[in-house]
Chain A
């Protein structure tokens, strides 16, 4: 509760100067920030929420897009061969955000035209992925939909924009949810101010998602000094096995 009050006071502090400035002055049209700039994945991590808030100068609608680091995703299609389902074809999509989250104060197609949505990558249908292979348009659409469906199933893509709550006309807030399997790395949170069918202002809020603590050390160790990690894993197992043998022999 106290945290909420502090946050609200902070929001006011952010918003008040914007409110105090006369219209037409060269004020920042949009200010936004998040409750955290680092999401730490610790041993007990089960997913978390991050509060995103801000204020707009004058009327307007807000769209928020959160993206994880891009990576290459392999999408595979199964087919039935000899009675069992086997991966029979694959397409590699590059430039796929590992996480994609979207919120809007109104349905996005009512705020911006398709070209603008494409340009800013607002909405999963408007994301441009590059593919590795030449394959037919219809086949490709199937793979693309398969990719999106799996990402939604894993809780990493949001297809239906989430709500943004306005307090009065100017203060807005929303909550971003990151599931337990959230990919790590630098994230970008883009906040767009939309007025009269065009983007009137934009701001990027930095956000980092990183593994910390023992889990992070283990992961780092396994990926940077793989051979040493392998030996370490064997030694631990040998020690644990011998220790267990000794303990239970005495019992």
Chain B
């Protein structure tokens, strides 16, 4: 059944969109990843313009992350002070990111910037996932491997504006979470992702936050940052397709529940290996499209802004 998407201005099959939402939702339930970094490229593959895909996906991530925030809040796993500093950076970064996005769009280089960002990040994340899961698989086979030290002092602990984050039991410079939030905010605006895949490892390895507060706090920041991106994209570029976001969301929430059910039952390391491979594959396809000689070196577009 075809549905005409009012902002994307194309007709797409509802069941295809629901299946995509469900499939990516399943993966997010299974692995605890947001899925935006896979959904945006898929939308572009099926013919949605990158501009609309990025902006609408940010809108969907708002919905996907908000229920998680409340679940973690009830369990007391959100460090609001840390969240606020991350968020201050995130709002600044995402506003700057939307400005960059409009600039690249006017220059006619938006598609290229989005593609390059995806190639870089899917490549990095895919490789890290593969490496990490391979290590885990190997470690399981060779018990007694050395564990890494939990807390190390580095140059980062010498930075000014030190703040005490009681919930996370940290005394670190506020500049660190602010910069992480800022960087992820830019990615959120340009790539239409929540950025959990960057912010969660950054909180664990750079800030040294305890794992228990990481997920809830990152979801807290992601909800507000993607809401900011949605608002600014709607105002500056009119590229947020609510209908598209809602259909993806519908598939997404159902898929995520099933993913959550399976999460404990399947061999996690091997699944991560698969996911890493899939992420690398998607990145590879985007790279291939950039490198291969296009069917037509001429393309047309409407004048930016309208």
Contact = CB atoms under 8 A, between A and B. Distances in A.
B154 interface: no
Contact of B234 (A143, A146, A181, A233): A233
A149 B298 contact: yes
B108 A85 contact: no
Interface in A7-33: none
Interface in B148-203: none
Contact of B66 (A84, A146, A242): A242
Interface stretch (B32-40, B135-143, B224-232): B224-232
Contacts, number: 176
A54 B298 CA distance: 39
B76 interface: no
A219 B7 contact: yes
B205 interface: no
Given A85-B294, A87-B109, A227-B235, A238 B11 contact: no
Interface in B59-95: 59-60, 62-68, 70-71
Contact of A74 (B294, B297, B300): B300
Contacts of B6: 211, 214-216, 218-219, 222
Interface stretch (B206-214, B245-253, B269-277): B245-253
B44 to A, nearest CB: 16
A77 B297 contact: yes
Contacts of B249: 237, 240-241, 244
A195 B274 CA distance: 70
Contacts of A140: none
B67 to A, nearest CB: 3
A232 B7 CA distance: 15
A95 to B, nearest CB: 13
Contacts of B293: 80, 85
A150 B297 contact: no
Interface string A32-50: 0000000001111110000
A150 B295 CA distance: 11
A233 B11 contact: no
Interface residues of A, number: 61
Contact of A181 (B9, B68, B253): B9
A236 interface: yes
Nearest to A223: B238
Contact of B294 (A78, A142, A236): A78
B66 A236 contact: no
Interface string A207-244: 00001001110110011001101111110111011101
Closest 6 pairs (CB-CB, A-B): A146-B298, A245-B67, A230-B234, A241-B63, A237-B63, A244-B253
16 contacts: A44-B1, A74-B303, A78-B297, A85-B293, A87-B108, A146-B297, A150-B298, A215-B4, A218-B242, A226-B236, A229-B234, A230-B230, A237-B227, A240-B253, A242-B70, A248-B253
Given A149-B296, A237-B249, 14 more contacts: A73-B300, A84-B291, A87-B299, A142-B298, A146-B297, A150-B300, A216-B6, A218-B242, A229-B234, A230-B232, A230-B234, A233-B230, A240-B249, A244-B67
Interface of A: 41-46, 71-80, 83-87, 90, 92, 142-143, 145-147, 149-151, 153, 180-181, 211, 214-216, 218-219, 222-223, 226-227, 229-234, 236-238, 240-242, 244-246, 248, 251
